[in-house]
Each structure stands twice: as structure tokens, then as C-alpha cells.
Amino acid sequence: MNYPSKKSLTYNPSLIRNIWNKALTIISALFAIISVLPLILVISYVLIKGGSYINIDTLILEPEPPGDDLLSAGGIGPAITGTFIMSIIASFISIPVGVGGGIYLAEYSKSGKFAKFIRFGSNVLAGVPSIIAGVFIYAIIVSTKILFGSMFSGIAGGISLSILMLPTIIKTTDEALKLVSNDMRRAAFGVGASKFTMITNITLPAAFTSISTGILLALARAAGETAPLIFTALFSRYYITSFDDLFYEMGSLSVLIYNFALEPYEAQNQLAWAASFILVIVLLGLNILSRWIGTLGAFSKNKV
């Protein structure tokens, strides 16, 4: 018999295909490095440059009007509380509605026409640009002065953020509940539970970790959003002192960064960097927390 030489089974680096393989592997590695580079650059600039402007004064003082005093621009305190308050308002609206909608999709109508339409709708809503949410809230709440005659307000800002959180929460609730084993539902019905008891006592607790992962991710996205706030909550340099202040302009970290980055004064620019330091730390913290909760959920599922 005339076998081809044994050589064909050994690796020959000078073959065209092997050279191509090497080259393409190197190119893909290069692409991966280029993709990671922006994260490293942005994070390190924000941490180093922003971190260097952080002190007690920047954290608690109110920002001074630009150009007044070049030595001290004040601080970002009201912006931190503003972002916090508007995220809370957005959560109060979007968590019940989103979790409720997700319960309907997963527990009541798995593949009905209406459920399909709602799933499609929440995908579309997730793709609506955030600035459109701002324009929408401006048109129905700010310009109509429907909230007891107030125009720009923290509440309007919170509502516009809730529109951005809603699709994420619905989707993760829907998917988390679908992952709960049907055996648990049958067992609950078997011992005489009503559907309401079954959902609130069995499936929701079982899906709790995945749902909270989704909520945290939605919250992290909303807290960093600027576009919906620039003409709903506008900006304010002052702390809120009473409940009534919710109905007036409210500052936020993201709008502070946008406004102060474009100021020609160095002191304001420094405040923008300090604000982005706080914002990035909080958002990365939320993301890592949600990842950690996600791994907890996977762990308990394996045990069950």
C-alpha cells in the first residue's frame, strides 16, 4: 500500500492554513485587547482624576454658581441626594408594575396573543431612545403642569426614569418565573393553594434572586441616565428641605456632569469629574452586586 508520508499527521507551522490560523488568532486577541482598553482607560481616569477631587466639602456642599468664585466651586451634595431620590421614585413606580406585568406573562398567559404582544411591546419599549422618554414626559407632565401646577420637578424626572426601568424588570421577572419548575406549581395546587397563594408563596420566592438581579440592573441603568432628566427634572443647586421640594427642579449627578463639563471654568470641570467618580463607583457596585446575587440564585437552584 502507498500511504502518504507520515509527515502529514505532524503539525507543520509553515503550511498556509496554519499561518492563517495563527494570524487570525492574533488578530482576534488584538480586537479583544482593543475592546477592553476603553474600560480600563475610562475607569482609571475617572478613579484617579475624579478621586483626587473627592473630599468632605465636595461631598456635602451645594455647588456654587459658575464663575462666582474660582477657588471653590462648592460640592455635589444636592446632586447625590437628587439622584438617590429620583431613583427611589422610579423604583416605586416601575418595580410593582414591572413585577406585576412579568407575573401576568409567566403565570397567567404563557403564549396567548396578548402576552405575545406585551412581550413584543416591552422589547420595543426597551429600544425607545431615552431622550424620547424625556420628551414624552415633558409633553404630558411638564408642559401641561398636571402635577399641581409645577413644571420641572423631581417627580417628573423619576417618572421618566421609570419608563426606562420598566421593560428590563418585566423581562427579567417573566424569564425568572418561567425557570421555576412546574412541579412546584403542581405541588402547591395539590395541597389546595389558590393561584394567588401559589404565586406569592411559592413561585415569587423561588424566582426572587433572579428578579432582584434584574431590578438592580435596571436601577443601575436609570441612575446613570441623563437624557430623560435634562428637560423633566432640569437641575437645581440646592438641597431639598421639605416634601414640597419634590415638585420643583431637582439636581442629579448625571445632569451635573453634563452641565459642568461644558462650563469653561476649571473648578466646575473638577466637580464634574468628582461627580462621575461617585456615579461610576455606585453603578459598578450595583452591577457587581447584581452579579453576586445572580450566582447565589444559581447555587440555590442546584441545591433544589
Binding residues for another protein restricted to 18-57, rule: CB under 8 A: 18, 20-21, 24-25, 27-29, 31-32, 34-36, 38-43, 45-46
Out of 61, 156, 218, 227, point to the residue binding another protein (CB under 8 A): 227
Report, in Å, the least distance between residue 304 CB and another protein.
Answer: 25
Report, in Å, the least distance between residue 277 CB and another protein.
Answer: 9
Out of 59, 70, 88, 139, point to the residue binding another protein (CB under 8 A): 139
Report, in Å, the least distance between residue 41 CB and another protein.
Answer: 7
Out of 97, 184, 202, 289, point to the residue binding another protein (CB under 8 A): 97
CB 249 within 8 A of CB 236: yes
CB 141 within 8 A of CB 147: yes
Report 2-21 residues binding another protein (CB under 8 A): 17-18, 20-21
Q: Fill in the per-residue mask, 106 to 125: x = in contact with another protein (CB under 8 A), - = not in contact.
A: -xx-----xx-xx-xxxxxx
CB 133 within 8 A of CB 163: yes
Which positions ≥6 away from 134 have C-beta within 8 Å?
160, 227, 228, 229, 230, 231, 232
CB 211 within 8 A of CB 173: yes
Report 156-215 residues binding another protein (CB under 8 A): 163, 166-167, 170, 192, 194-196, 199
Per CB under 8 A, does 289 bind another protein?
no
Per CB under 8 A, does 238 bind another protein?
no
Collapse the DSSP code of 147 into the 3-class scheme (helix H, G, I; strand E, B; otherwise coil) and give the result. strand
Out of 151, 240, 283, 293, point to the residue binding another protein (CB under 8 A): 283
C-alpha 179/C-alpha 171 separation (Å) is 13
For cell 414624552, the residue is: 136
Q: How many residues contact another protein, by CB under 8 A?
A: 88
DSSP class of 228: T
Report, in Å, the least distance between residue 75 CB and another protein.
Answer: 18
Residue 267 exposed, middle or buried by CB count within 10 Å (0-12, 13-18, 19+): buried
C-alpha 255/C-alpha 276 separation (Å) is 11
Which positions ≥6 away from 167 have C-beta within 8 Å?
98, 122, 123, 125, 126
DSSP class of 202: I
Shorter beta-carbon distance to another protein: residue 240 or 283: 283
Shorter beta-carbon distance to another protein: residue 179 or 244: 179
Collapse the DSSP code of 153 into the 3-class scheme (helix H, G, I; strand E, B; otherwise coil) and give the result. coil
Report, in Å, the least distance between residue 95 CB and another protein.
Answer: 11
Shorter beta-carbon distance to another protein: residue 100 or 244: 100
Q: Report the 10 Å Cβ neighbour count for 282.
A: 19
Which positions ≥6 away from 28 have C-beta within 8 Å?
none
Q: Fill in the per-residue mask, 53 to 82: x = in contact with another protein (CB under 8 A), - = not in contact.
A: ------------------------------
